[in-house]
Structure 1
Amino acid sequence: MLDIKFEKSKNLKPIPDENNPLVFGTIFTDHMFVMDYETGKGWHSARVTEYAPISLEPSAMVFHYGQEMFEGLKAYKTQDERILLFRPDKNIERANNTNRRICIPEIPKEDFLQAIQAIVSADRKWIPTKPGTSLYIRPFIIATDPYLGVRPSNTYKFIIILSPVGPYYKEGLNPVKIWIEDDYVRAVKGGIGEAKTGGNYVASLASQVKAHDAGYSQVLWLDGVYRKYIEEVGAMNIFFKINGIVVTPMLNGSILPGVTRNSCIALCKKWGLPLEERKISIDEVYEAAQSGTLEEVWGTGTAAVISPVGELRWQEHIMKIKDGGIGALSQKLYDTVTGIQLGEIEDTLHWTMEVK
Structure 2
Amino acid sequence: MSSNFVPVRLEKIVKNYGIFTVLKEVSIDIRAGEFVSILGPSGSGKTTMLQLIGGFSRPTSGRVWFGDSDVTLLPPQRRDIGVVFQNYALFPHLSVAENIAFPLRARKVPSSQIAAQVEKALATVELPGYGERPIAKLSGGQRQRVALARAIVFEPRLILMDEPLSALDKNLRETMQLELRSLHAKLGATVVYVTHDQREALTLSDRVAVMNAGRILQVDTPRTLYSAPADAFVAGFVGESSLLPVARTGTNSARLGDTVLRSARPLPADGELYIALQAEALLPCAADETESDCNYLSGQVRDVVFQGESLKVKVVLADGTEISFRVPSHHSNNIALPQAGQNVRLKLHVEDTVIVPSSNAA
Q: TM-score, normalised by structure 2?
A: 0.24
- Bigger Cα Rg: 2
* Higher RCO (CA-CA < 8 Å; seq separation 6+): 1
Structure with bigger strand share is 2
Q: TM-score, normalised by structure 1?
A: 0.24
